[in-house]
Amino acid sequence: MGLETLGYIGLRTANLEDWTAYASRFLGMQLVDKSRGTATFRMDDKKQRLVVHEDAADAPGFFGWEVGDASALDAYAANLERHKVSFARGSRALAEERKVRDLIVLSDPAGNRLEIFHGAETTTDPFKPGRAISGFRTGPLGMGHVVMHFERLADVMPFYQNVLDFKLSDYWKRPFEGYFFHVNPRHHSFAMMETGKNMVHHMMIELYSFDDMGQGYDLALSDPDKIAVTLGRHSGDYMTSFYTYNPSGFMVEYGWGGQCIDDSTWQPFERKLGPSLWGHDRKWMTPEKREESRQLCIESAKAGLRQPVQVIEGNFNQMQGVCPWLDSMRAQQKVS
User: Which pLDDT belongs to residue 11?
Assistant: 97
Kindly give the parts of the chain with pLDDT less than 70.
Answer: 1, 321, 335-336
Angstrom distances, CA of residue 85 to CA of 14, 148, 179, 299: 32, 20, 23, 44
- Cβ atoms of 217 and 148 closer than 8 Å: no
Q: Which residues contact 160 (CB under 8 A, 6 or more apart)?
A: 108, 166, 181, 190, 192
User: Which pLDDT belongs to residue 1?
Assistant: 59
User: How far is the C-alpha of 86 from the C-alpha of 106, rounded, in Å?
Assistant: 6
The DSSP symbol for 219 reads: H
Is this structure's pTM higher than 0.85? Answer: yes
- Cβ atoms of 146 and 63 closer than 8 Å: yes
Q: How many CB atoms lie within 10 A of CB 266?
A: 15
User: Which pLDDT belongs to residue 176?
Assistant: 77
User: Which pLDDT belongs to residue 187?
Assistant: 98
